[in-house]
């Protein structure tokens, strides 16, 4: 159980989180019904390594965000959507759709750019954003008493353990899975940094009142 609160208090219909899951599932289904490249191509951060990000510099700014909607297998989409739902709705419940939207946008851009500069444009998935959500909730729960949620220590160990397993390369060696580890790292660090910033603002506001 993620929450440190009563389950009945959890939000029933968090609109932003529902939209994130819905878009991701729709894109995944379309990729499996229509030609995969037709759907994925305009959602990738770019189709080129060189020149660098020509589509974005040409005005296709959505590409900085849309790789998070691309998933390439049943396990990939199910795993990511479960964590998007669990963590996204907590943030939306406690701090609103605006905070979750800004967090998602910032973490997505940071993690996608970081992964692009390390491995090129052929990647996708919500996992960088999920680690941003995790880092945000984790640090908010430790630094902002008004947040009202404390992550179960088992969840913290699970997320950090999976993070290290992915970096170890064992999934690629045993299962042939290519993992966007740089996106995970950039997402986690940016989510933690934003949480510290928000907690600082909360403390300053509280003192002013």
Catalytic residue ranges: 127, 184
Residues contacting residue 49 through CB under 8 Å, at least 6 positions apart: 120, 121
Peptide bond into 51 cis (omega under 30): yes
d(CA 206, CA 3): 25
CA angle (189 as vertex; 183, 191 as ends), nearest 5:
95
Closest by CA to 29, choosing from 62, 85, 77, is 77
Q: Are 122 and 180 in contact (CB under 8 A)?
A: no
Dihedral angle over CA of 107, 113, 114, 120, nearest 10 = 140
Residues contacting residue 106 through CB under 8 Å, at least 6 positions apart: 132, 190, 194
């Amino acid at each position: 159980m993620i929450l440190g609160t009563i389950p009945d208090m959890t939000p029933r219909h968090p609109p932003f989180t529902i939209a994130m899951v819905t878009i991701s599932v729709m894109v995944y289904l379309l990729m499996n019904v229509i030609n995969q490249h037709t759907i994925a191509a305009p959602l990738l951060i770019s189709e080129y390594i060189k020149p660098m990000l020509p589509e974005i510099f040409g005005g296709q700014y959505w590409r900085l965000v849309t790789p998070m909607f691309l998933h390439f297998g049943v396990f990939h989409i199910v795993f990511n959507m479960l964590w998007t739902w669990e963590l996204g709705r907590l943030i939306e419940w406690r701090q609103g759709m605006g905070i979750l939207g800004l967090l998602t946008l910032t973490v997505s851009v940071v993690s996608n750019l970081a992964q692009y500069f390390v491995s090129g444009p052929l990647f996708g998935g919500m996992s960088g954003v999920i680690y941003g959500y995790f880092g945000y909730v984790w640090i908010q729960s430790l630094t902002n008493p008004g947040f009202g949620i404390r992550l179960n220590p088992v969840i913290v160990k699970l997320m950090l353990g999976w993070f290290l397993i992915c970096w170890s390369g064992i999934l690629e060696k045993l299962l042939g899975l290519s993992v966007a580890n740089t996106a995970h790292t950039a997402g986690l660090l940016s989510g933690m940094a934003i949480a510290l910033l928000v907690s600082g603002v909360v403390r300053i506001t509280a003192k002013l009142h």
